[in-house]
């Protein structure tokens, strides 16, 4: 539920001019969905 809430409310909290680029956020969401938190976390 936490993950889906974060995705569904992205328009509220995401800042496209912030530190994380939109493409990186999308990649992180896909990685989290397909491989879990370990792969999506910054290295």
pLDDT tens track for 1-43: 777 888 889 889 999 999 999 999 998 888 888 887 776 666 6
Q: Is the pTM of this model over 0.95?
A: no
Find where tokens 């992205």 sit: 10
Reading the block at residue 43, the tokens are: 């290295």
Q: How many domains does the chain have?
A: 1
Residue by residue, DSSP assigns 3-43 as HHHHHHTHHHH--TTSSS-HHHHHHHHHHHHHH-HHHHS--
Whole-number pLDDT of residue 40: 62
């Amino acid at each position: 539920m936490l993950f889906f809430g974060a995705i569904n409310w992205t328009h509220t909290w995401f800042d496209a001019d912030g530190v994380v680029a939109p493409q990186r956020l999308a990649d992180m969401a896909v990685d989290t969905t397909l491989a879990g938190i370990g792969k999506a976390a910054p290295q």
